[in-house]
Amino acid sequence: MRRNFVLPWLLLVPTLMGLSIFTLYPALQSVYLSFHEVDPFSQQSTFIGLENYVELLHSTEYWGSVKISLLFMLITVIPGVVGSLLIAVGLDSSPFFQPVLRTIFLLPVSISSAMAAMLWIFIYNPTAGYLNYLLERLGLFGPNWLGDPKWALTAVAIATVWKEIGFNIIFFLAGLSSVPTELREAARIDGANALQRFRHVVLPILSPTLFFVIVVSIINAFQSFGQIRILTDGGPAGSTNTLVYNLYKDAFVNFRTGLASSQAVILFLILTGATLLQFSVAKRRVHYG
């Protein structure tokens, strides 16, 4: 009996050690450093209380990064979730092409953010890029996607949605496969059209998957960094300076470790609050079982 109790914990030791070293300790260290000012040369920390947080509250640059992050979240999550849902519904209705198309949509997920960003640098090139070439063939004038502050955030959002949409499609396809065929046929016999069947039959059963995809998409949007670092480096004119990029800049460019740590704590609180808010909404709108 004792052996059966101890063995599972022994098997969990490597995982618990990894979580403690690479997740729990850095998180606690960030909280600790957020109340300190760290000398970039000697690495000695001086306790300053809430001064880092007060400085952030009065920083126009920080509030600008909050605004940009919220906007980036909206223009990536909404098209990403809606687009992947529509594609998944289309693939579900055409099972003959599903294996090939599913593989095509999943390919961008398998490559790194760096490789995806380098690909989009060529696509967005204002003089030799494929995107502006196609727009020119249609009689349209393509902007300097990554060099114009009006278009840079949209350009990064398009690249982000392209890379992550396959992840959402796979989950939606898995959710759609759990919808009983009998319910769809019964609704069809009762005279419900395709939109009514989707709204009243498919969507309630798919709601847990939809909720999961929305939560993960919002978290990923706030944490996006690699593609921003490579595509725009936070520019032009700070138009893509998101929360995470501003945190990176303060930590590794300005060497203000304490201020960057306070930003990490606030970002954690923002994501936690957003997730809890979504769970409170899900209690009324998500149907399990």
pLDDT value at residue 1? 53
The pLDDT tens digits of the residues spanning 210-252 come to 989 999 999 999 999 999 999 999 989 899 999 999 999 999 9
Residue 29 corresponds to which amino acid?
Answer: Q
- Is 210 inside any structural domain? yes
Indicate the pTM of the whole model.
0.89
- Is 2 inside any structural domain? no
Q: Over pLDDT 70: what percentage of the chain? A: 96
CATH number at residue 124: 1.10.3720.10
- Is 82 inside any structural domain? yes
Number of residues written out for the chain: 289
- Is 117 inside any structural domain? yes
What range defines the domain where residue 125 resides? 59-285
Q: Could you give the number of structural domains in the chain? A: 1
pLDDT value at residue 256? 92
- Is 215 inside any structural domain? yes
The pLDDT tens digits of the residues spanning 44-83 come to 888 999 999 999 999 999 999 999 999 999 999 999 999 9
Closest to 171 measured CA to CA, from 202, 208, 221? 208
- pLDDT band at residue 2 under the 50/70/90 scheme: low
What gap in Å lies between CA 133 and CA 238, rounded to an integer?
Answer: 27
- Is 163 inside any structural domain? yes
Q: Which residues contact 127 (CB under 8 A, 6 or more apart)?
A: none
159, pLDDT greater than 80: yes
Residue 61 corresponds to which amino acid?
Answer: E
What gap in Å lies between CA 236 and CA 152, rounded to an integer?
Answer: 7
What gap in Å lies between CA 122 and CA 113, rounded to an integer?
Answer: 15
- Is 128 inside any structural domain? yes
154, pLDDT greater than 90: yes
The pLDDT tens digits of the residues spanning 257-288 come to 999 999 999 999 999 998 888 888 776 666 66
DSSP the chain: -HHHHHHHHHHHHHHHHHHIIIIIHHHHHHHHHTTEEE-TTT--EEE-TTHHHHHHHT-HHHHHHHHHHHHHHHHHHHHHHHHHHHHHHHHHH-TTTHHHHHHHHHHHHHS-HHHHHHHHHHHH-TTT-HHHHHHHHTT-----TTT-TTTHHHHHHHHHHHHHHHHHHHHHHHHHTTS-HHHHHHHHHTT--HHHHIIIIIHHHHHHHHHHHHHHHHHHHHH--HHHHHHTTT-STTTT--HHHHHHHHHHTS--HHHHHHHHHHHHHHHHHHHHHHHHHHHHH----
- Is 113 inside any structural domain? yes
